[in-house]
């Protein structure tokens, strides 16, 4: 995601250009929605969070420092809002239970969709700070440095959380028949 | 027990975060240690599963809902507080207006789709049914989405488009074995002014942010399911987008 392009779009938005607004939202709607979905495990909550993220971002755009990457800034809002949403709605357990109930049936063939569901269910088993780094690394495809900037933690912490998270994911996936 | 430094390097290698020297160190470790090889292969496998998991598609209309919920200053205007998001209340209201908008317009003239529109009202949804096919339009002149959807007893083509200037949307229903059954749009978007039906071709003029639906009826003797619907968009007589809604199966 190009920061120069984002900056140009923001300037146009500030002049009232709704097409630029549409373009900015188009660029980030999908990644923000997916990050939120992987953290929350629920499509409705992810859609709510995506909308809130953009509202918050535009509400606070005066606070955005263009010297920094726009995507880091909006991702930070997305992570915070996802965590807030998770705290607000405690409906994740039912999702996990359902997924776990399905995946433990050895008679059911594991196809790509099921693997995706199992991955999501395994992700939901991770503690939140581990899940967030996994999402940013693997689903948002961000570097250690970017993750460190977004979460405002040292790179060393990013690495150690990823290390622990992957070890746990390995155990979870093995237990659910994904090898 | 794998040395902590090597484990860290392997992790970073899996993430593509190593420089040439460190990568050479990992290669050496992998050559010399069975334990390192097993660990490397396990981490690669976990990383691949995660990275290969497909993206989820954001729900239909979310982008439009977000765009509509954010107010910008008027063109050329400026202020300290540039943006005034409409907030949750207005965002919700936008969704409701959208829903009401679809049902607020009667279907066109001789086509009796009244009962279908009523069904949508009862469900409280502007957009019902599972998308059968979709198109994403990302042109400088126009952007948005088009979906072919199956409502219990009918097919609809739903449009969610945004264009600064007037763009003509042409829908060819002939090849689908369908004919035009009705039009529903937002309250301020009348089919009388923006719609033209000629033979198997429907032409709709889009300007601004528009959400509208075409109801389809099957031609007697033709397939009940529309197989292929051609959608073209013209700006000042010039083709700017062309796509096909191809139903499954």
Which of A55, A62, A159 is closest, CB to CB, to B85? A55
Report residue B236: phi and psi, to 5°.
Answer: 50, 45
Segment 94-133 of chain A within 8 Å of chain B by CB? 112, 115-116, 119-120
pTM for the whole structure: 0.60
DSSP assignment letter at B131: E
Nearest CA to CA, how far is B214 from chain A (Å)? 24
Per-residue burial over B40-67, b if 16 or more Cβ lie within 10 Å, else e, is: bebbebbbebbeebeebebebbbbbbbb
Which three-class secondary structure state does DSSP give residue B188? coil
Report d(CA B241, CA B141) in Å as an integer: 10
A164 at interface of B, judged by CB pairs closer than 8 A: no
Supply the pLDDT for residue B188.
63
Contact: B56, A46; criterion CB under 8 Å: yes
Q: What is the pLDDT of residues B121-161, one digit of tens each?
A: 222 344 566 778 888 888 888 988 888 887 766 688 888 88
Assess contact for B211 and B102: CB atoms under 8 A.
Answer: yes
Where is B205: in which H helix or E strand? strand B201-218
Contact: B8, A29; criterion CB under 8 Å: no
Q: What is the pLDDT of residues B175-200, one digit of tens each?
A: 777 778 887 776 666 666 778 887 77
Share of chain B above pLDDT 90, in %: 22
Q: What is the pLDDT of residues B22-75, one digit of tens each?
A: 999 999 999 999 999 999 999 999 999 998 888 888 998 898 889 888 887 665
Contact: A166, B46; criterion CB under 8 Å: yes
pLDDT at B89 over 70: no
Report d(CA A106, CA A178) in Å as an integer: 11
Q: Return the higher-pLDDT residue of A104 and B27.
A: B27
The two tokens of residue B249 are 């199966």
User: In chain B, how long is the greatest CA-to-CA distance?
Assistant: 81
Report d(CA B44, CA B140) in Å as an integer: 41
pLDDT at A87 over 70: yes
């Amino acid at each position: 995601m190009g920061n120069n392009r984002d900056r140009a779009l923001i300037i146009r938005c500030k002049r009232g250009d709704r097409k630029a607004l549409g373009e900015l939202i188009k660029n980030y709607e999908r990644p923000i929605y997916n990050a939120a979905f992987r953290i929350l495990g629920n499509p409705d909550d992810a859609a709510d969070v995506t909308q809130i993220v953009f509202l918050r971002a535009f509400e606070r755009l005066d606070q955005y420092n263009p010297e920094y990457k726009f995507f880091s800034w909006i991702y930070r809002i997305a992570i915070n809002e996802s965590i807030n949403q998770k705290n607000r709605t405690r409906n994740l357990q039912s999702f996990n239970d359902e997924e776990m109930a399905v995946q433990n049936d050895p008679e059911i063939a594991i196809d790509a969709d099921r693997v995706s569901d199992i991955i999501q269910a395994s992700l939901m088993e991770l503690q939140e700070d581990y899940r967030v780094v996994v999402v940013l690394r693997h689903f948002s495809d961000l570097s250690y440095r970017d993750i460190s900037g977004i979460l405002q933690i040292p790179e060393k912490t990013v690495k150690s959380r990823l290390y622990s998270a992957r070890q746990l994911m390995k155990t979870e996936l093995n237990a659910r028949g994904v090898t | 027990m794998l040395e902590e430094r090597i484990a860290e390097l392997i992790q970073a290698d899996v993430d593509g975060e190593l420089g040439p020297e460190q990568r050479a160190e990992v290669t050496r470790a992998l050559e010399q240690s069975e334990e390192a090889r097993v660990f490397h292969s396990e981490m690669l496998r976990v990383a691949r599963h995660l990275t290969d998991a497909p993206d989820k598609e954001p729900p239909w209309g979310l982008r439009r809902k977000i765009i509509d919920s954010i107010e910008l200053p008027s063109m050329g205007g400026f202020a300290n507080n540039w943006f005034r998001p409409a907030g949750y209340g207005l965002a919700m209201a936008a969704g409701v207006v959208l829903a009401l908008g679809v049902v607020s317009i009667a279907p066109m003239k001789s086509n009796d789709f009244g009962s279908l529109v009523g069904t949508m009202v009862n469900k409280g949804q502007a957009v019902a049914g599972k998308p059968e096919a979709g198109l994403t339009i990302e042109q400088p002149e126009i952007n948005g989405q088009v979906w072919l959807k199956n409502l219990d007893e009918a097919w609809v083509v739903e449009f969610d488009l945004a264009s600064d200037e007037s763009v003509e949307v042409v829908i060819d229903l002939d090849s689908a074995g369908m004919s035009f059954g009705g039009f529903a749009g937002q309250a301020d978007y009348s089919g009388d002014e923006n719609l033209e039906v000629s033979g198997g071709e429907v032409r709709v003029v889009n300007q601004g942010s528009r959400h509208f639906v075409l109801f389809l009826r099957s031609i007697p003797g033709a397939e009940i399911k529309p197989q292929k619907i051609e959608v073209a968009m013209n700006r000042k007589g010039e083709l700017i987008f062309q796509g096909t809604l191809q139903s499954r199966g």
